[in-house]
Chains A and B, each alone.
Chain A
């Protein structure tokens, strides 16, 4: 030993990990696309959190039907975005509706990712018949038009929050599995994987600790994009009447309920549509920004 021990033992891991995450987020500042994206997403997250404080009216009570945007309410207050055909305040419904989207979309994505990653790891790493079986199952699911799949699932098990998550997980995990499998096929031939195998690590440890962290770059970008698609999906399901059961506010449902009056009262459909698009745009721009940064490194 030549040097004196100046190096301290590592102490708390989580604080450091949090700082690192913050640092990598700070990198986003270098990409203006990513900045706009994260601004949009952050805006809607704040709206969802502060919904009780921001919403001027109760989203489900019928106050004054067919009010135009900016009209003053009889009992005080202003309908900034107008009301719908049964008199519910659109602004309040959009604000409360953001909660629905921002709870169910990430949950559904997370659950699709968990299943997709596990299947992809097993198929890519194990290969052989495991790969054959999982890949064929994925092929079958992917061969259905997605919308048909949703309708069949929801129609069978009924419309509810949990069932939306189940339907989305079922329909999108095969796609995720394909991505993960491809990444694993490349990563499993690296020497560090061989090093882990030669010290007798279990298969799951090799997959989860040695391989998965190195696939995170493309997966994070894909997750951001997919989150946007899931928001569309939740909107579409709401529009088709397969979303959350009424009267809870749901952006897709709002468009569906008022679409027949869209020509006469455009504000009833326009504003929920803008809400949906801005959030999706936010996630897409964020994904672009993340990709830009990951390519630069």
Chain B
């Protein structure tokens, strides 16, 4: 990067508003940004903070009701706000390109990849079909897609999500833009696929010299891709700086709060629990006086923070471009505060409550094609779960980890009685329940096994009041029968999940995502369950809200000594809260053991790759880079031998392709399913290196 070069993009004192029936809503206030050639800027913040609005404003694509109120956006010396629609059309797609969150929504499903890619240079430049095709093919190779020729002739649905996103990125790069906007490009993808895309994005600026603006809610991803980062809160930047200065010495209380919300490798559910930010993001038309963050800030000083809105300020003794919007940043010592954390008691584990023994779940698929009729193979099986073995004790948190399609949700369905297992046993409190459908289970069996669902917008019935939905559970399980007592119990549950009591009468649409998820938890615990299955309960929530919900879930678990089965794809959350981990891939359990065992060698090669894929928002934690090639095989046609053999970076030979690997016992309840001898696996170096407290930079400051 060259500091003397003219900046590509300069946003100066930008204010953006939306105009609705309710009046003007200021979405972004006082936003300034400079992008130099080849630089990658990260914008991070929770939903509703205005980060996507900034991207849309740069594209000058605000929709009918949005407008730039004041300020300027200068792109290569031209003010974009002054350009006509016609001039803008020449810039969009050719000089500024944008990549959206969902690749399958960005590609036209009825056109071939070649048509969609060639369109870009053909529209913006005066070149021949042949040249356009060559350029497109070259770029597909550049974004590391295998077999670009075949890709060109495919339709979007023939590619996987990761491949689609690579095509979209190639499309963005085709006209060789000077600025690439990426709006959460990996949020819809699996972790191992995400790792590949992130690596690609990080290489783009080196290879093409393109400047990038990378929008994300994930601090870890920002760390891996960007040079400088902007932290946004409620429509304004609260802190900006280089990755190094901001991640090592965050100054703004909000930035600090964000770091305290994400489960870094140093966090521990008992000794160093997450510290959720209290309160909620203010609504855009309801922002407080003075500092927008003051109602949620622990360092709020009346008479100073709540008087006037103030400007960004350069941080003393830090890098030149480290700036913060806080009047008290010099006085706040985050170290003193860090000591003041409540230590929670570890839960004593009881007897075994769940015993999964050789559980299999096959789905039968009837093939009625002519080919199947001739070959006689009319029935095929989707092997969703293959020989699952594991146990869980009372009060234990067992995490099931795996990417989409690994069979973790199928297992949850069998456990809940929504599906029946094909073979094997699932014993809950000694009784095999794998073949009992939910309607044949006794009220006691049902109530002792409850579930918290993933999508907060889907988990509550929009037609019924919160109170009605919780009391239905209590009535159904016969916990209480008297009307008054049921009502009292709902009130108590609302207290437990820290929601106001008058939420009883509210409808779900009046609640925020985090609040809905709390109601979901209250509903699951209404019947005093002995075991709760949580299917990615926080993956759809913002970081600060997710931290609060995670802590809440664990507090209730501690109180009730509930066994928690936590289904997730996010290893950092899993590491933080679980006692034991089960790693699944394509229906098989590849590794299982305690959290410490799984996170330290010997690893299963897949666990190793998963660990490497998790973005960690700590610049001093180092990781060994393992990027998996290829895609998850189809569950209809799994590999004959080891399920992971098609993508494994430690493949040892034909044995992997042809034989199902044995379960190798490392220690009691720590099992690895792999052909590689344990001695070899034990010699593998750790993937993640966390420096000691004494080695850390900020400790010396």
* Chain A residues at the B interface, C-beta cutoff of 8 Å: 1-3, 5-7, 9-10, 190-192, 194-202, 209-210, 213-214, 216
Question: Is B438 an interface position by the 8 A CB rule?
Answer: yes
Query: Could you tell me the distance in whole angstroms from the C-beta of A184 to the nearest C-beta in chain B?
Result: 14
Question: Is B289 an interface position by the 8 A CB rule?
Answer: no
The CB with the most chain B CB atoms within 10 A, among A7, A201, A209, A214, is that of A7
Contacts of A210 in B (CB 8 A): 461
| Nearest CB in chain B to that of A5: its residue | B491
**Is the Cβ of A198 less than 8 Å from the Cβ of B418?**
yes
Q: A5-B491, A198-B417, A199-B446 are in contact. Are A192 and B459 (CB under 8 A)?
A: yes
Contacts of B460 in A (CB 8 A): 192
Contacts of A197 in B (CB 8 A): 418, 438
Q: Which of B454-486 contact A (CB under 8 A)?
A: 454-455, 458-464, 467, 473, 476-477, 483-484
Contacts of B450 in A (CB 8 A): 198-199
Q: Which of B417, B487, B500 contacts A9 (CB 8 A)?
A: B487
Extra A-B contacts (7), CB below 8 Å, given A192-B458, A195-B459, A213-B463: A3-B501, A6-B501, A190-B458, A198-B446, A199-B450, A200-B446, A214-B463
5 contacts between A and B (CB under 8 A): A3-B495, A196-B461, A198-B418, A200-B439, A213-B464
Q: Which of B447, B455, B476 contacts A191 (CB 8 A)?
A: B455
Number of A-B contacts (CB under 8 A): 72
Question: Is B328 an interface position by the 8 A CB rule?
Answer: no
Q: Which of A194, A200, A201, A213 contacts B453 (CB 8 A)?
A: A194
Contacts of A209 in B (CB 8 A): 464
Query: Could you tell me the distance in whole angstroms from the C-beta of B470 to the nearest C-beta in chain A?
Result: 11
Query: Could you tell me the distance in whole angstroms from the C-beta of B468 to the nearest C-beta in chain A?
Result: 9
Question: Is B384 an interface position by the 8 A CB rule?
Answer: no
* Chain B residues at the A interface, C-beta cutoff of 8 Å: 416-418, 438-439, 441, 443, 446-447, 450-451, 453-455, 458-464, 467, 473, 476-477, 483-484, 487, 491-492, 495, 500-502, 504-505, 520, 523, 527
**Is the Cβ of B505 less than 8 Å from the Cβ of A10?**
yes
Q: A200-B476, A213-B464 are in contact. Are A7 and B451 (CB under 8 A)?
A: no
The distance in angstroms between the C-alpha atoms of A200 and B460, with both chains bound, is 16
Q: A9-B484, A200-B438, A201-B476 are in contact. Are A195 and B504 (CB under 8 A)?
A: no
Contacts of B459 in A (CB 8 A): 191-192, 195
Q: A197-B438, A201-B476 are in contact. Are A191 and B458 (CB under 8 A)?
A: yes
**Is the Cβ of B484 less than 8 Å from the Cβ of A1?**
no
**Is the Cβ of B418 less than 8 Å from the Cβ of A192?**
no
**Is the Cβ of A7 less than 8 Å from the Cβ of B438?**
no
Give the 9 A-B CB pairs with smallest separation, nearest first. A213-B463, A191-B453, A191-B458, A7-B501, A192-B461, A191-B459, A198-B416, A200-B446, A9-B487
Contacts of B455 in A (CB 8 A): 191
Contacts of B487 in A (CB 8 A): 9
Contacts of A201 in B (CB 8 A): 476
The distance in angstroms between the C-alpha atoms of A202 and B438, with both chains bound, is 10
**Is the Cβ of A1 less than 8 Å from the Cβ of B495?**
yes
Contacts of A2 in B (CB 8 A): 495
Query: Could you tell me the distance in whole angstroms from the C-beta of A122 to the nearest C-beta in chain B?
Result: 17
Contacts of A199 in B (CB 8 A): 446-447, 450, 473, 476-477, 527
**Is the Cβ of B418 less than 8 Å from the Cβ of A214?**
no
The distance in angstroms between the C-alpha atoms of A213 and B439, with both chains bound, is 23
The distance in angstroms between the C-alpha atoms of A209 and B439, with both chains bound, is 17
| Nearest CB in chain B to that of A16: its residue | B505
Contacts of B500 in A (CB 8 A): 3
Query: Could you tell me the distance in whole angstroms from the C-beta of A151 to the nearest C-beta in chain B?
Result: 41
The distance in angstroms between the C-alpha atoms of A36 and B533, with both chains bound, is 53
Query: Could you tell me the distance in whole angstroms from the C-beta of B474 to the nearest C-beta in chain A?
Result: 10
Contacts of B454 in A (CB 8 A): 191
Query: Could you tell me the distance in whole angstroms from the C-beta of A199 to the nearest C-beta in chain B?
Result: 5
Query: Could you tell me the distance in whole angstroms from the C-beta of A202 to the nearest C-beta in chain B?
Result: 7
Query: Could you tell me the distance in whole angstroms from the C-beta of B652 to the nearest C-beta in chain A?
Result: 42
Contacts of A6 in B (CB 8 A): 501-502
The distance in angstroms between the C-alpha atoms of A6 and B501, with both chains bound, is 8
The distance in angstroms between the C-alpha atoms of A5 and B490, with both chains bound, is 12
Contacts of A190 in B (CB 8 A): 458
The distance in angstroms between the C-alpha atoms of A196 and B477, with both chains bound, is 12
The distance in angstroms between the C-alpha atoms of A222 and B439, with both chains bound, is 35
**Is the Cβ of B491 less than 8 Å from the Cβ of A7?**
yes
| Nearest CB in chain A to that of B454: its residue | A191
The distance in angstroms between the C-alpha atoms of A1 and B500, with both chains bound, is 11
Query: Could you tell me the distance in whole angstroms from the C-beta of A289 to the nearest C-beta in chain B?
Result: 17
| Nearest CB in chain A to that of B476: its residue | A199
Contacts of B491 in A (CB 8 A): 5, 7
**Is the Cβ of B504 less than 8 Å from the Cβ of A7?**
yes
Q: Which of B439, B467, B501, B520 contacts A5 (CB 8 A)?
A: B501
